[in-house]
Amino acid sequence: MHIRIKCENGKVELQRTMTAASQLCWLVLLQVFSFSWCGILYPRASEKRVLMSLDGIWQFRAANSTSEGIEYKWYKNRLSKTGATIPMPVPSSYNDITQEKSLREHVGTVWYERHFFVPDSWRQNGQRVWLRFGSVHYSARVWLNGEEVMSHEIGHLPFEAEVTSSLRFGQENRLTLEVDNTLTYTTIPQGWVEEIETIDGVKKVQRYTFDFFNYAGIHRPVVLYTTPAVYIDDITTYTDVVGSKGIIYFNLTYDGLPDSHNEINCRVTVFDSHAKPVGKATKEDKIGSGFIGKIEIDDAHLWWPYLMDPAPGYLYTLEVRITTNKDDMKIEDVYRLPIGIRLITWSNTSLYINNVPVYLRGFGRHEDSDIRGKGLDLALVAKDYNLLKWIGANAYRTSHYPYAEEIMDFADQQGIMIIDECPSVNTEKYSVSLLEKHLSSLTQLIQRDKNRPSVIMWSVANEPRTQLPESADYFRSVVKFVKTRDTTRPVTAALNKWYSIDHAGQFMDIIGINRYNGWYSDPGKLEVIQPSLEREVENWHQLHNKPVMMLEYGADTMPGLHLDPSYIWSEEYQTDLLSEHFKAFDTLRNKSFFIGEMIWNFADFKTDQSTTRVGGNKKGIFTRERQPKSAAFHVRKRYLQLAHEIDGFPLADDLDKYTAPVHPKNEL
């Protein structure tokens, strides 16, 4: 097999005599060394690394203009000296924290400030100190003690910088952020700003076409952490399954030493869920500032999705240790990465996990809750996963942006499969500048989530305007780019243009469609759902000869509204609409190319104000407070019955509530 890889440094030609799967894993690992990627490993404490959380109450104020804070150098002194500040919880969105409508609808920059101490011990032995933000929406500039240390654009993704030289050890430090929520035609996602006349003068208004509220602020944890002077910068793993054997291919990169310094040792060990060592690398080959190798585990516990195995989400721990000498001092770093051993493959009709066909049943979701907005709330995360398991879901899509790493941890641990989506939603007005941002978001997303067993697919967009001819070249470039980063997972997008005018489906590995029969199309006409949906899905498959899945369908439902016969917006109508879709799905499942169904949405969520949105989008089968609507019980019965039919999982005892004994009259 002769393979060419195009990379920044030219073309690399590889020829191997291995199995196709093994060859692919080595190929992907070698590709990693062809690109200049910086690591963004999740901060984990170890015997060589210390973490300090900066979450809590920060000082906050909104700027009157986008340039005000920079012009008057608010980062040079305490923020309170620039004007009145208010306490602001981090993480959270700032929009719903106060009673001020102006802050909820603010367009432009806001400022955050936090004071903290770091111990003198942190500067011993040449330690490095890093400052990391899990997500700031949409763009951020960061100053430490008045010195700018980093900036970042694109929300929902982490960013960090080494700040050792900017810190005051054993003294108070001042951390200042400028956050800008402005969206334009070259941001991801897109938007535009209009000026409207009001009784108070001209007001800026943010416009966007996506259907969720543009929450802003420091949405995820802020942490300081230490590493040794020579440290593990990045780890990449790919896994294979051969019979009962699990194979882990890995590479790791380190930093802090010149490439010419060869006196560095590496030890990679795998531990099972009981912390017992079960495998170690027999050989680590040094390549540049890194090592590459593999570990084989006999009778491996595979990572299985929820309800496909009695012990779903099995995780091993990959322990990486490096040791070296620098300036006559021994240096050691240790990092432990949770990994799952599983194999994702696909054909023109099916998706497989560990060589077993998988049928996705789940939801589109949002990071959204009352008061907190998109701020990470671990209690809510735990509740959501318990609801997902209660209802029998095995998958969801991170619509329409990457979710918090802590949320993804739950998916890894509990066996929930993830379609991991970048922040490109309702993409239009295609341009080179937009493409650069789009590819940047995908680079950061894949770099962040590449090692997660729960991530089974990359989604490159939601409802892009693919009827436009220019979308063809655009998405050809996007998908090709993703394939240079990761060839072990299929690529998809949530498409909503009709198959006959869409220009993007041809480039996807799996076709995902959003369609609202009986709601936006023919509202109230449940009888159109089956024939329309079956015909369209068949046409998508016939056109592209690829698997097809339903990524969005549903109906807005006001909790407590009951109308019989069913009528739109009622709980009865939501249940009836889902049932008509279920009938179509079962017909399509029998044709062997339909691989999944995802309801829109898991829970109600906030949107921008609109005459079609009563307090937000109400398509959830749970309320925003995570209470079930009538349809939730109906969906639970279907999802658990599908798990029983497809994967042989025992039915729950409480699917049918007791009413009376069932005996025909002649048996009494």
* Domain co-membership, 447 together with 587: yes
**CA triplet 352, 496, 614: central angle to 5 degrees?**
110
* Domain co-membership, 511 together with 628: yes
Q: Which two tokens stand for residue 454?
A: 């729960």
* Domain co-membership, 121 together with 93: yes
Segment 504-538, tens digit of pLDDT: 999 999 999 999 999 999 999 999 999 999 999 99
Quote the pLDDT of residue 664.
72
Helix (H) / strand (E) containing 386: helix 378-391
Q: Is residue 28 part of a domain?
A: no
Is residue 259 helix, strand or coil? Answer: coil
Segment 36-51, tens digit of pLDDT: 457 899 999 999 999 9
* Domain co-membership, 167 together with 254: no
Say if strands 217-218 and 109-117 run parallel, antiparallel, or are unpaired.
unpaired
Can you say whether residue 213 is alpha, beta or left, with left for phi > 0 and alpha for psi between -120 and 50 degrees? beta
Is residue 379 helix, strand or coil? Answer: helix
Q: Which two tokens stand for residue 253?
A: 């990169």
**Which of 227, 256, 288 delimits the end of a domain?**
227
Quote the pLDDT of residue 658.
86
More confident residue, 662 or 612: 612
What is 102-130 written as a DSSP string? HHHT--SEEEEEEEEE--GGGGGGG-EEE
Quote the pLDDT of residue 71.
96
* Rounded Cα–Cα distance for residues 533 and 546 (Å): 17
* Rounded Cα–Cα distance for residues 307 and 360 (Å): 11
| Domain span at 388 | 355-516+524-559+579-647
Domain of 175, CATH number, reads 2.60.120.260
Q: Is residue 44 part of a domain?
A: no
Contacts of 664 (CB under 8 A, 6+ apart): none
* Domain co-membership, 363 together with 292: no
* Domain co-membership, 310 together with 184: no
pLDDT at 28 over 80: no
Find out whether 637 and 392 touch, Cβ atoms under 8 Å.
no
* Domain co-membership, 330 together with 388: no
Average pLDDT over residues 321-341: 93
Q: Is residue 21 part of a domain?
A: no
What contacts 24+ positions apart, CB below 8 Å, involve 556-559? 556/519, 556/614, 556/617, 556/618, 556/619, 557/618, 557/619, 557/620, 557/629, 557/631, 558/614, 558/618, 559/618, 559/623, 559/627, 559/629
Cβ neighbours of 310 (radius 10 Å) = 8
Q: Which of 84, 81, 79 is nearest to 114 (CA)?
A: 79
Helix (H) / strand (E) containing 539: helix 529-544
* Domain co-membership, 493 together with 429: yes
Q: Is residue 182 part of a domain?
A: yes
Find out whether 418 and 398 touch, Cβ atoms under 8 Å.
yes
Average pLDDT over residues 97-124: 96
DSSP 229: S
Cβ neighbours of 117 (radius 10 Å) = 13
Average pLDDT over residues 346-375: 98
| 3-state SS string for 4-45 | EEEECCEEEEEECCCCHHHHHHHHHHHHHHHCCCCCCCCCCC
**CA triplet 15, 18, 20: central angle to 5 degrees?**
90
Map tokens 């500067």 to a residue: 123
Q: Which two tokens stand for residue 278?
A: 């079960």
Task: Give the N- to C-terminal CA distance of the chain in Å, as an integer.
Answer: 72
Segment 526-579, tens digit of pLDDT: 999 999 999 999 999 999 999 999 999 999 999 999 999 999 999 999 999 999
Q: Is residue 11 part of a domain?
A: no
Q: Is residue 348 part of a domain?
A: no
Quote the pLDDT of residue 125.
86
- pTM, to two decimals: 0.92
Range in 155-164, 284-293, 351-360, 468-477 with the lowest mean pLDDT: 284-293
* Domain co-membership, 271 together with 208: no
pLDDT band at 21 (very low <50, low <70, confident <90, very high): very low
Find out whether 127 and 228 touch, Cβ atoms under 8 Å.
yes
* Domain co-membership, 241 together with 213: no
Give the active site residue among 113, 160, 405, 463: 463
Q: Which two tokens stand for residue 344?
A: 């994702």
* Domain co-membership, 493 together with 584: yes
* Rounded Cα–Cα distance for residues 369 and 367 (Å): 7
Find out whether 363 and 602 touch, Cβ atoms under 8 Å.
yes
> Considering the chain, what is the average pLDDT of its residues?
93
pLDDT at 17 over 90: no
* Domain co-membership, 203 together with 100: yes
pLDDT at 419 over 70: yes
Beta strands in 383-439 (DSSP E): 395-397, 417-421
pLDDT at 33 over 50: no
* Rounded Cα–Cα distance for residues 542 and 536 (Å): 10
Q: Which amino acid is at 365?
A: R
Has 463 been annotated as catalytic? yes
Average pLDDT over residues 187-216: 94
* Rounded Cα–Cα distance for residues 633 and 473 (Å): 44
Quote the pLDDT of residue 259.
63
**CA triplet 364, 369, 375: central angle to 5 degrees?**
100
Quote the pLDDT of residue 668.
57
**Which of 227, 254, 276 delimits the end of a domain?**
227
Q: Which of 10, 20, 35 is nearest to 251 (CA)?
A: 35
Domain of 622, CATH number, reads 3.20.20.80
Domain of 250, CATH number, reads 2.60.40.10
Is residue 591 helix, strand or coil? Answer: coil
Find out whether 272 and 235 touch, Cβ atoms under 8 Å.
no
pLDDT at 325 over 90: no
Q: Is residue 61 part of a domain?
A: yes
| 3-state SS string for 161-200 | EECHHHCCCCCEEEEEEEEECCCCCCCCCCCEEEEEEECC
* Rounded Cα–Cα distance for residues 569 and 58 (Å): 41
Cis peptide bond prior to 189, omega within 30° of 0: yes
Q: Is residue 18 part of a domain?
A: no
pLDDT at 13 over 60: no
Find out whether 557 and 628 touch, Cβ atoms under 8 Å.
no
Q: Which two tokens stand for residue 231?
A: 């440290």
Average pLDDT over residues 285-300: 91
**Which of 227, 251, 275 delimits the end of a domain?**
227
Segment 115-153, tens digit of pLDDT: 999 999 999 889 999 999 999 999 999 999 999 999 999
pLDDT at 2 over 60: no
Neighbouring-strand partners of residue 344: 353
Q: Which two tokens stand for residue 527?
A: 């009888």
φ/ψ (deg, to 5) at 371: 70, -50
Q: Give every strand in the sheet of 351-353, ordered side by side.
A: 344-346, 351-353, 356-357
Report the number of distinct structural domains present in the chain: 3
DSSP 425: B
Helix (H) / strand (E) containing 227: strand 222-227
Beta strands in 311-359 (DSSP E): 316-326, 329-339, 344-346, 351-353, 356-357
Find out whether 639 and 620 touch, Cβ atoms under 8 Å.
no
